[in-house]
Structure formats: C-alpha cells, structure tokens
Structure 1
Amino acid sequence: MSRFSDFDTRGYRTVDVRTGYGAWAAGYEDTVPDVMDLALLDELAVPDWPSVRRAADLGCGTGRTGVWLRGVGVEAADGVDLTPQMLARARAKGVHDRLVEADVAATGLPGGAYGLVICSLIDEHLADLRPLYREAARLAEPGALFVLVVFHPHFIMMSGMPTHFTAADGEPVAITTHVHQLSDHVAAGLGAGWQLAELREGLVDDRWVAVKPKWERYRGHPVSAALVWRKGVDAS
C-alpha cells in the first residue's frame, strides 16, 4: 500500500477521524460538492435504487447520502458513523430509521438484513480496507449490492492533497489520509466474496471547474470513483 506521506505537498497539521469530523461537522456540507459523490451515484447503471427495502449507510456523516437515497426511492436506511457531531446533523434530517455511533468495520447492525450497503468518501481514512468489505458482506443479504464512492488514489497522489477542512481560526487541518489503489479495493472485495458489477470514475470537468475554478489545471484527472459490488446468493 502506498503511504500518503510520500505524496503530501501540503504539510497540514493532521488529526484523527473523530476529532477532524467533529470540528468539520458544521461546515461539511458547504465544502463537499455534490459532484464529488452524489453525481457519481446518479450515473450508476447497475443499482435499482427503488427496489431496495433497507440500506445500511456506513460513514453516514451529516446524512447527505441518506437524503439522496430517500430521493431515489430507497424505502428505509440505518446509518452508522464514528462522530457524534456528524450523527447529530444526520439525526436532524430525519431520513434514517436508526443511527448508531460505531466503527464502519464493526457496526453492531444485524447481519444479512440489508439489500444495499453504501458508503461514501470514507475509504481514505481506513488503514486497511478488508475489515470494511467483510463487515459489508456480513450485513448484506444474498444478492445485495455494496456501493462505495472513494477518493480516487490518482488524485491524492497527483495533487498531494489530503482530506482536509478549514478550522474556525482559519487553519487548514488534515484528517488522517491513506492511499488505496483501485486494485486494493478489488483484492479486498474479492477476498470478502463480493463480485464486481460496475466501476465509474469521476473526472474533473466543467461541473468541477464551475465549483472550483482553480481546478482547471486538474481537468481530465479522476478525482473520485464509484464501485458497485454484488453479493453472490451462495456467499455467507
């Protein structure tokens, strides 16, 4: 696995996930554009969203993904996040049936209970992807999908940019960031019994430049990716 420190061009002070997202919670939705993740979900061809009776929303954060899921017809969702401040904002939206403060690799949710497991923009905070893929497999019913939106490793390595936010005093602060190649996801997914059904990469395009004009220099580079996995009917 590549180390982010080998590519870091910012040198920001770095904090752990719970500390970072606790401080970022109030401004998170103002600084993460929909083109990063929700636009990719919109473009996926494999998931039949309205057919999902119940979803597990891992790393649910402020509830952005939960709101999107309800908007495309997902009947019900349970959310899991490590950060109380993010969960409080998700709770205020009222789109999850249940919200749990827990690690995404050990959620405490019931096994085999979900037709969809989904997570967005959390993989770069995990030192090892395998526990996430195993937990998703435990949660999923046979034939269920596991959908991930990830911070593209190419962009992290090319830009040297960690996941970061601006603190109240104006200081840019990084949250612990790891680099996972797409092949790392494939290995973790296959190792947990998943079958890859779809992969899409989101490039810096006109939508991105409209939000971040300085990113014109990154035009054409992949900044995020979405993977869709299917659980075989015989998988445990």
Structure 2
Amino acid sequence: MVDFSLFDTRGYPTVDVRTGYAGWVDSYERTVEDAMDVDVLARLTAPRWDAAATAVDLGCGTGRTGAWLRARGVGAVDGVDLTPEMLARARERGAHRRLTEGDLAATGLDADSYDLAACSLVDEHLADLTPLYREAHRLVRPGGLFVLVGLHPLFIMSAGMPTHYDGPDGPVAITTHVHLVSDHVTAALGAGWQLAELREEVVGEQWIALKPKWERHRGRPVSAAYVWRKES
C-alpha cells in the first residue's frame, strides 16, 4: 500500500467509510458513473455470469452491482455492506436475496456457498487487502470466481483525488488508500486465488464525454478489474 496523503491535491475534510457513505447515500446513484465499474465488468471475458446460481456482492452499497449481476443472469445474489443507510437503499431496489450488515473481512456467511463473489469500488477504502481476499476465498466454492473492480492506483495517484461526495458544507472525502496492482496480486495469491483475467481501462472518449474536464487525464488508467479463480 502507498500512502494516499503523498498525492492528495484536494485536502477535503475526511470521514470514515460508514460515516461517508451514510452522508452520500441520497446522491450516490446520481454521481457514480457506470463507466467506472459495471461497464468494465461487461467487457470481461472470463466470467460466465449466467452460469452462477449464487453470488455474494461484497460492499453492495445501494445495490447497483447486485442489480447488474441479476440482469446478467446470476440466479441469486446476497449482499454485505458496512453502512445501514446503503443497505436500506439496496433493500428498496430488491435485487438481493439477502442483505447483511457486516465487515467484508468477516461476513459471517457460510463457507463454500457461492459460485461467484463480486466487489465493486470498495478496495480503495481498505487499509489491507488481505482480509478481503481471504474472506472471498472462504465464501466461494472450488472452481468459483472472485471479480473485483475499482479505481486504478495510477489514477488515484495522478489525479490526487480521493473518493468524495458533496456534503451540505462542501466536498467530503472518504478514507482512501492506494493499492498497487502488485498489492492485489500478492494478497490474492496468498489467499489461494489463481488469476484468470486482468483488465485495465484508460480515460478515453467515453469518459471525456461524461466529464469534459478529464481531457487532461486522457490515456491514463482509470479502472482495474481482476478475475480470480478458486482451484477446484
């Protein structure tokens, strides 16, 4: 892990994850772009989404990823999140079979219960990736997959921009950490995963159309998606 404070160009007041997402919940759906995560997931080739009878959505938030997985043919999706306010929105959405408030490092769910684990836009909030990779490995059946998508570390460093939202008194940052690609690989291999696919997306026309000010970031990596397989 690299200390994000070395790159922070915003200096926003910073809150912990639970506080931050509780404050962001009302505007979250309007501010998170599909290009950041689900559009990247859609371009992956290793997962056969409709072959997964069960999935666990780690850091499910308002249910965006869970709804996307169901639309792709996943049979049933259970969600876990730290923030009650986010879980309430996911419950309203109705995409999940079951929703649990809990820590992604220790969900309390049954071992070897899922064909697929998914985690979207979460890893930058974790001080240590190892517990997440270990818990996902515990939850997924042999032969199953863990798919993780998040901000690319080079984007976080080059943009100097933490995960943040507009609070009533101005921008509020949520605790952000920088994990290199090698940090993911080390944590995943140590937990017993095998790499099945790695995709890195750069800022291009899609992003410039959404955020014209990002022209200065053109060509820089913005998202990274990892597909890990549990040995049969």
Asked if these proteins are the same fold (TM beyond 0.5), I'd say yes
* SS of residue paired to 1:127: coil
Deviations 1:95-148 (A, max 9, x none): 100000001111111110000000001000000000000000000100000000
Normalising by the residue count of structure 1, what TM-score does the alignment of the two structures yield? 0.97
Matched, 1:27 2:27: yes
Matched, 1:173 2:143: no
Structure 1 residues 9-88: aligned runs within 5 Å: 9-88=9-88
Structure 1 residues 91-106: aligned runs within 5 Å: 91-106=91-106
Q: Which amino acid aligns with 2:86?
A: M
> What corresponds to 2:183 in structure 1?
184
> What corresponds to 1:204 in structure 2?
203
Q: Which amino acid aligns with 1:107?
A: T
Deviation of 1:168 (Å): 2.6
Matched, 1:143 2:173: no
Normalising by the residue count of structure 2, what TM-score does the alignment of the two structures yield? 0.99
Deviation of 1:182 (Å): 0.4
Deviations 1:11-33 (A, max 9, x none): 00000000000000111010010
Is the Cα–Cα contact under 8 Å of residues 199 and 224 in structure 2 kept in the other structure? yes
Tell me, in whole angstroms, the C-alpha distance in 1 between the residues paired with 2:110 and 2:22: 27
Deviation of 1:151 (Å): 1.1
Deviations 1:50-102 (A, max 9, x none): 00000000000000001100110000000000001100000001110000000
* SS of residue paired to 2:27: helix
Tell me, in whole angstroms, the C-alpha distance in 2 between the residues paired with 1:96 and 1:226: 22
Tell me, in whole angstroms, the C-alpha distance in 2 between the residues paired with 1:202 and 1:59: 22
Q: Tell me, which stretches of 5 or more residues in structure 1 are unaligned?
A: none
Q: Which amino acid aligns with 1:165?
A: Y
Structure 1 residues 147-166: aligned runs within 5 Å: 147-166=147-166
Tell me, in whole angstroms, the C-alpha distance in 2 between the residues paired with 1:105 and 1:165: 25
Matched, 1:193 2:192: yes
Tell me, in whole angstroms, the C-alpha distance in 1 between the residues paired with 2:154 and 2:134: 25
* SS of residue paired to 1:66: helix
Is the Cα–Cα contact under 8 Å of residues 36 and 150 in structure 2 kept in the other structure? no
Deviations 1:142-164 (A, max 9, x none): 00000000211000111110000
Deviation of 1:210 (Å): 1.0
Q: Tell me, which stretches of 5 or more residues in structure 2 are unaligned?
A: none
Tell me, in whole angstroms, the C-alpha distance in 2 between the residues paired with 1:68 and 1:164: 23
* SS of residue paired to 2:117: strand
Q: Which amino acid aligns with 2:78?
A: D
> What corresponds to 2:227 in structure 1?
228
Tell me, in whole angstroms, the C-alpha distance in 2 between the residues paired with 1:66 and 1:124: 20
* SS of residue paired to 2:26: helix
Tell me, in whole angstroms, the C-alpha distance in 2 between the residues paired with 1:131 and 1:144: 18
Share of identical aligned residues, percent?
66
Q: Which amino acid aligns with 1:208?
A: W
Q: Which amino acid aligns with 1:225?
A: A
Tell me, in whole angstroms, the C-alpha distance in 2 between the residues paired with 1:168 and 1:47: 41
Tell me, in whole angstroms, the C-alpha distance in 1 between the residues paired with 2:168 and 2:95: 29
Q: Which amino acid aligns with 1:25?
A: V
Tell me, in whole angstroms, the C-alpha distance in 1 between the residues paired with 2:78 and 2:190: 25
